């Protein structure tokens, strides 16, 4: 599936950078273009794989390239003012070659949190291709303002995109690691999951043909229109010597195992992927749709295994709409990606919604009480102070 990636803000840019990095190594061609948008010049300079020619600095007249702090309203405003610059960069790319847009942002900050929904809305307005979002939730200990930004942005962003894939930093942070090193490994993990998913159907250039290919339309149908989704992943290294020239020439089937092993390997991988740590932890029962992608050398991609895994996931989620397929790669690993879309039972999202409601109520109450005390101040006020109101 061919994507145009647009990263907004620091996290958005870094995750796009990691996706391009993954794609360069896997060479599957799922990234047609990658654009980074920011209000902070320094954050753009930190990117390794998005060249300056594909970077857009927005809000320059207002914030002079210094960023918006964690003010997501300002992030939204300046992005809206300069969205034409982003769109003209998108306009350069061969949009007819892409299957979808992916707009990426950390929702707890300012630029990405405010700007990503603005860019998504504009893209949807102009193009017929689906616009997906990838939203990163802050860790709980980042503080109130990040939680509040994320709560608000999540509500807006999910409305503006065809589907919002969510990654929760809180579920993935590691203790005892520096923030930067921690983000690096998180971004690589996320890039691997998305990379396998979106590479499916693109091939690895080896010309291998999948038994039951996953194509772009299956990913698009699974993401559907509306709602949020989460991604699981599991991989195992094959216990066999790397295939050398000889076995490749002899068809590579000489060391093929019997079908039962391949079937069991796939069913257990898919279980681990779906029941292990998801990009956003949630109850998988009640998901509306699912997609299973199994990647690995073609001689171990058992169609039977994928069929069984699909049936298992149907039972586990309670939906009949589970798609599945394989993706042959010349590798010594077999990996399973499970995309679950239309998930509702998500504790973290409920928590954020509650925070948003509570804060709004608090703010109203504060506004009322400060208006009341202002009235008091004016009516009982000292005569020497000229009320300015």
Q: Which residues are annotated as a binding site for GTP?
A: 10-14, 110-112, 142, 169, 187
CB of 353 to ligand GDP, least distance (A): 18
Work out whether the CA dihedral 132, 311, 240, 214 comes out positive or negative. Answer: negative
CB of 12 to ligand GDP, least distance (A): 6
Which entry of ligand GDP, Mg ion, none binds 142, CB below 5 to 8 A by partner kind? ligand GDP
**CB-nearer residue toward ligand GDP: 164 or 214:** 164
User: Which residues carry a binding-site annotation?
Assistant: 10-14, 110-112, 142, 169, 187
123/220 Cα distance (integer angstroms)? 17
**CB-nearer residue toward ligand GDP: 109 or 324:** 109
CB of 109 to Mg ion, least distance (A): 6
CB of 389 to ligand GDP, least distance (A): 35
Q: How far, CA to CA in Å, does 266 sit from each of 103, 205, 263, 318?
A: 31, 23, 5, 20
Residue 321 burial class via C-beta count within 10 angstroms: exposed 0-12, middle 13-18, buried 19 and up: middle
Cβ count near 245 (within 10 Å) = 7
CB of 348 to ligand GDP, least distance (A): 13
299/93 Cα distance (integer angstroms)? 37
Q: Which residues bind ligand GDP (CB under 6 A)?
A: 9-11, 14, 43, 106, 108-113, 136, 138, 142, 146, 169, 183, 186-187
**CB-nearer residue toward ligand GDP: 112 or 328:** 112
Q: Which residues bind Mg ion (CB under 5 A)?
A: 10
Cβ count near 161 (within 10 Å) = 29
Which entry of Mg ion, ligand GDP, none binds 133, CB below 5 to 8 A by partner kind? none
**CB-nearer residue toward ligand GDP: 108 or 296:** 108
> Quick check: 265 and 236 in contact, CB under 8 A?
yes
Residue 277 burial class via C-beta count within 10 angstroms: exposed 0-12, middle 13-18, buried 19 and up: middle
């Amino acid at each position: 599936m061919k994507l145009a990636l647009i990263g907004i803000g620091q996290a958005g840019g870094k995750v796009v950078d990691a996706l391009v990095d993954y794609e360069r190594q896997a060479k599957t061609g799922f990234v047609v273009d990658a654009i980074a948008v920011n209000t902070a010049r320094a954050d753009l300079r930190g990117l390794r794989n998005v060249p300056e020619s594909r970077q857009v600095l927005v809000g320059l007249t207002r914030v002079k390239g210094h960023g918006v702090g964690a003010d997501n309203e300002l992030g939204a405003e300046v992005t809206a003012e300069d969205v034409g610059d982003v769109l003209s960069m998108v306009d350069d790319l061969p949009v007819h070659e892409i299957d979808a847009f992916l707009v990426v942002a950390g929702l707890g900050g300012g630029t990405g949190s405010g700007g990503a929904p603005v860019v998504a809305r504009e893209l949807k307005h102009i193009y017929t291709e689906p616009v997906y979002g990838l939203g990163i939730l802050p860790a709980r200990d980042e503080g109130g303002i990040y939680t509040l930004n994320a709560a608000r942005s999540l509500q807006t962003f999910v409305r503006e995109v065809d589907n919002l894939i969510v990654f929760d930093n809180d579920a993935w942070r590691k203790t005892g690691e520096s923030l930067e090193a921690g983000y690096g490994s998180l971004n690589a993990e996320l890039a691997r999951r998305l990379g396998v998913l979106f590479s499916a159907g693109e091939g690895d250039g080896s010309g291998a043909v999948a038994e039951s290919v996953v194509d772009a339309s299956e990913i698009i149908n699974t993401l559907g229109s509306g709602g949020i989704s989460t991604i699981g992943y599991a991989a195992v290294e094959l216990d066999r010597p790397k295939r050398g020239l000889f076995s490749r020439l002899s068809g590579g089937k000489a060391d093929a195992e019997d079908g039962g092993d391949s079937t069991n390997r796939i069913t257990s991988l898919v279980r681990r992927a779906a029941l292990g740590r998801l990009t956003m932890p949630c109850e998988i029962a009640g998901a509306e749709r699912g997609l299973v992608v199994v990647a690995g050398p073609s001689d171990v991609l058992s169609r039977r295994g994928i069929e069984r895994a699909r049936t298992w996931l149907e039972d586990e989620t309670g939906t009949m709409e589970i798609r599945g397929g394989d993706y042959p790669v010349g590798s010594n690993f077999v990996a399973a990606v499970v995309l679950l879309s239309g998930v509702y039972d998500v504790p973290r999202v409920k928590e954020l919604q509650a925070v948003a409601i509570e804060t709004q109520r608090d703010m109203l109450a504060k506004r009322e009480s400060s208006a009341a005390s202002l009235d008091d101040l004016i009516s009982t006020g000292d005569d020497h102070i000229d009320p300015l109101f």
